[in-house]
Amino acid sequence: MSDPTTSGSQPAAGAASAPGAAGGDTVPVTPADLTVAEKAGLTSGADAWHTKAIDRLGVPAIMVTDGPHGLRKEAGSGPGLGPSVPATCFPPAVALGASFDPVLAERVGEAIGTEAAIEDVAVVLGPGINIKRSPLCGRNFEYFSEDPLLSGLMGAGLVRGIQSRGVGACVKHFAANNQETDRMRVSVDVDARTLREIYLRGFEIAVREGRPWTLMCSYNRIEGVYSAQNRWLLTEVLREEWGFDGLVVSDWGAVADRVASIAAGLDLEMPATGGYTDGQVVRAVAAGDLAEADLDTAAGRVLELVRRAGQRPPAPAQLNVDAHHDLAREVAGRCVVLLQNTDELLPLATDARLAVIGAFAQQPRYQGAGSSRIDPTRLEDALTEIRALGTGEVTYAPGFTLDGAGDVTALRAEAVRVAAGAEVAVLFLGLPPEAESEGFDREHLDLPAEQVALLAEVLAATENVVLVLSHGGVVHVPQAEQVPAIVDASLLGQAGGGATADVLFGRVNPSARLSETVPLRLADTPAFGNFPGENGQVRYGEGQLVGYRWYDARTMPVAFPFGHGLSYTTFSYGQASVVTADDGGWQVRVPVTNTGGRLGREVVQVYVSLSGSAVSRPPRELKGFASVEIPPGQTAEVEVAVPRSALAVWDVRTGSWWVEGGQYLVQVGASSRDLRTSATVELPGDGLQAPLTRESSLAEVLADRHAAPLVAQAVQQLADQVPAAAGLLQDEEMMTLMSSFPVGRLPGYGGLPITEQLVDDLLSAANAARGTPEVG
């Protein structure tokens, strides 16, 4: 152990080079070059956004800044939500997730990475990929989806893009951080299978496919253990199982016990604690309460991050504001979901006489509040952009104010008058900015009452109504069925105004899909009654039935299903077919034809079911998707890969992934409730890895394809040898009654001629045939 009060070994020649500088032929600094005090210092921030430099060794400080849908490089060094350098505000995850296109996410990531590199930022703190467990989570706008596959693949895309510019990404918040209420303490009670299949799977995908440089642990606890000091989570699952080789940083202020955190696998505590926790670490090492090797590991990972950052290729001298703004507009157009379009009211004719109504048309809501808030380089509003693209008369009336000020009745009357005088009324409604934010959860899904009243009056005054919705979390529109056209513009970033106009006039053919179900009522939602918990605890009582998995299992009607979204063209699906891929998974193939008159993009979704499964399963689960552009009249042969690993369930008995053999139903369609074609496919299973034991039930033994014939053979032999017992042994009703008996309790039971030796021999033979280990 090195002396915490003195310098360690000699400074290494040519230590980690500064970010932005070429890597060069340097001898890397290693933890062995550092004193304990230096290692303790290096593994905690210098301020809110920097690591500590070690000048004597030439180790520079590096900067991390918030994202994830742009760069939030704070002007100051303290924590807080002060002004930041202007950056392109791309569509937040609520919108980007709806594109169902990881390649698009990658392009956004590349642009963010470039902006970070220009600003000498080493790591962008995003993407956030937590599951939208309840629509009430105040921070849902920062997350992609209620589905882990979509969340993980979109997250991986963003990571790849950011890192392609030599800047690190940071996948957050690991794990089970699905609410804002009591977020720094709440303990999540979740069963092991749900944790693995729903709440960890997206992270696993992002880690395996994105290979992020860093990952941020969450504030909350899981089963009583803070993520920041959860060795199972940060070391066993993340590193040993998934092969994560980057650095784990704490969420800001998530560390309750720094010494325990380092031992668990946390590498960097953020933000600075003024040296307070550094002292704890130094004392713990001196007292033998913390293995210096654990501190070395953490310090080594910080040094490695500094080294990686130092190899960043040269960045452009300055930001190309126009090019990135244009990209933001293109991407935003890909994130608009056309929910409803009766009688093809949309797209609008360029010369249509329009009433534009609703304050959001002029004061756009384009991102959420909290640590992800970007100071945009520009900001488009829909009203200006509609006026720029349209040639007809456009009259505007706010109808309401965002802060509720003003004469509501007069504002509404004016708006209704304007709507009645136009060919089409385009109504911009949504959640006001204060309705949702990082830091608190919502209590309802409703639009403000004055907006609901305005919509009702406009619908009564005119037939041609287009509703454009701005919101981060799900919003309930009571009159949705009566509104001819609904455009879900969620939060589209700084160019959302133009993108909305592009969609309204048909310059962009909408192609995005709901990445979250829109329920009819809050009371229908999966976590209702179990959200946000109480007394520091929340129970994930719905288990795996999150999002569409829940509504489908209950065959519940919803306002708009997961995966739903319309286009200005139409698509027809041919017959799906499935071929086995090299990894034992599938290539799902389906011809999709653009049967309309416009170029369009279809999001082909593959859902998989297994009826008669040995474990409980949702009716169907998304296992793959592809976003494909198809010219009018043409057919695309769409291929969607479903890796075998995606078909595995978490086997709680063995603590491992397990692919169940059986006949699977593969359904392919345009939404979770618009399934157009299907195929069945026989999948060979992994076989049960858990050995059969005396504790295995008779039913489990009989269900095993290796054991069942051996049992049948033994029963026949016994019946031949002991004719008196034959009736009992071959009585099906009796066997059904005894199916829950552990086989170890059968010997001698009720005078049956079954011996312990027979049971053990059968188990041995069956385990040998299955390739599972012999048990004593």
Chain CA centroid to CA 541, Å: 20
Shortest separation between residue 136's beta carbon and ligand BGC, angstroms: 17
With CA atoms as reference, report the closest residue to 584 among 682, 440, 716, 456: 682
- Give the nearer residue to ligand BGC in terms of CB position, either 270 or 640: 270
**DSSP track, 67-122:** -SSS-B-BSSSSSS---B--B--PPPHHHHGGGT-HHHHHHHHHHHHHHHHHTT-S
Shortest separation between residue 263's beta carbon and ligand BGC, angstroms: 23
With CA atoms as reference, report the closest residue to 73 among 88, 61, 89, 85: 85
Q: What is the rounded distance in angstroms from the CA atom of residue 408 to the CA atom of residue 406? A: 6
Distances in Å between the alpha carbon of 247 and those of 300, 305, 315, 417, 509? 9, 7, 24, 59, 41
Q: At what angle do helices 102-118 and 148-163 cross, to 10 degrees?
A: 40
Shortest separation between residue 138's beta carbon and ligand BGC, angstroms: 12
For residue 427, which amino acid is it? L
Q: Which residues pair with 518 in a beta bridge?
A: 560
Strands (E), 493-576: 537-539, 571-573
Preceding peptide of 175 cis, ω within 30°: yes
- Give the nearer residue to ligand BGC in terms of CB position, either 252 or 396: 252
- Give the nearer residue to ligand BGC in terms of CB position, either 45 or 358: 45
Chain CA centroid to CA 192, Å: 18
Pairing, β 354-357 against β 394-397: parallel
- Give the nearer residue to ligand BGC in terms of CB position, either 252 or 607: 252
Residues 6+ apart with CB under 8 A from 462: 355, 419, 420, 422, 425
Residues 6+ apart with CB under 8 A from 55: none
Q: In what order do the strands lie in the sheet with 123-125?
A: 64-66, 123-125, 168-174, 214-217, 247-250
- Give the nearer residue to ligand BGC in terms of CB position, either 139 or 673: 139
Q: Decide if 368 contacts 92 (C-beta within 8 A).
A: yes
- Give the nearer residue to ligand BGC in terms of CB position, either 125 or 455: 125
- Give the nearer residue to ligand BGC in terms of CB position, either 49 or 428: 49
- Give the nearer residue to ligand BGC in terms of CB position, either 67 or 618: 67
* Residue corresponding to tokens 């009259």: 395
Site of interaction with ligand BGC (CB under 6 A) = 66, 125, 172, 251-252, 371
Shortest separation between residue 256's beta carbon and ligand BGC, angstroms: 15
Q: Report the residue closest to ligand BGC, judged by CB.
A: 371
Helix H, strand E, coil C: the string for 204-256 is HHHHHHHCCCEEEECCCEECCEEHHHCHHHHHHHHHHHCCCCCEEEECCCCCC
Q: Which residues pair with 437 in a beta bridge?
A: 440
Shortest separation between residue 477's beta carbon and ligand BGC, angstroms: 30
Give percent helix, percent strand, percent coil of the chain, each to the nearest 5: 35, 20, 45
For residue 232, which amino acid is it? W
Shortest separation between residue 81's beta carbon and ligand BGC, angstroms: 8
For residue 213, which amino acid is it? W
**DSSP track, 548-565:** HHHHHHTT---SB-TT--
Shortest separation between residue 229's beta carbon and ligand BGC, angstroms: 17
- Give the nearer residue to ligand BGC in terms of CB position, either 172 or 324: 172
Rounded to 5°, the CA angle 144-150-156 comes to 85
User: For 276-285, which contacts have Cβ atoms below 8 Å and span 24 or more sequence positions?
Assistant: 277/44, 278/37, 278/40, 278/41, 278/44, 279/40, 281/36, 281/39, 281/40, 281/43, 282/4, 282/36, 282/37, 282/40, 284/259, 285/1, 285/4, 285/36, 285/40
- Give the nearer residue to ligand BGC in terms of CB position, either 50 or 334: 50
Shortest separation between residue 254's beta carbon and ligand BGC, angstroms: 8
With CA atoms as reference, report the closest residue to 493 among 334, 359, 626: 334
- Give the nearer residue to ligand BGC in terms of CB position, either 277 or 767: 277
- Give the nearer residue to ligand BGC in terms of CB position, either 4 or 152: 152
- Give the nearer residue to ligand BGC in terms of CB position, either 219 or 573: 219
Distances in Å between the alpha carbon of 755 and those of 5, 691, 721, 750, 760? 70, 20, 13, 12, 9
**Residue 446: DSSP 8-state:** B
Shortest separation between residue 71's beta carbon and ligand BGC, angstroms: 12
Shortest separation between residue 227's beta carbon and ligand BGC, angstroms: 12
What are the catalytic residues? Answer: 251
Checking phi first, is residue 612 left (phi over 0); if not, alpha (psi -120 to 50) or beta? left
Shortest separation between residue 252's beta carbon and ligand BGC, angstroms: 4
Q: What is the rounded distance in angstroms from the CA atom of residue 116 to the CA atom of residue 49? A: 13
Shortest separation between residue 440's beta carbon and ligand BGC, angstroms: 13
Residues 6+ apart with CB under 8 A from 517: 146, 474, 547, 548, 551, 558, 560, 561, 562, 672
Shortest separation between residue 126's beta carbon and ligand BGC, angstroms: 8
The per-residue b/e assignment along 597-633, b for 16 or more CB within 10 angstroms, e otherwise, is eeebbbbbbbbbbbeeebeebbbbbbbbbbbbebeee
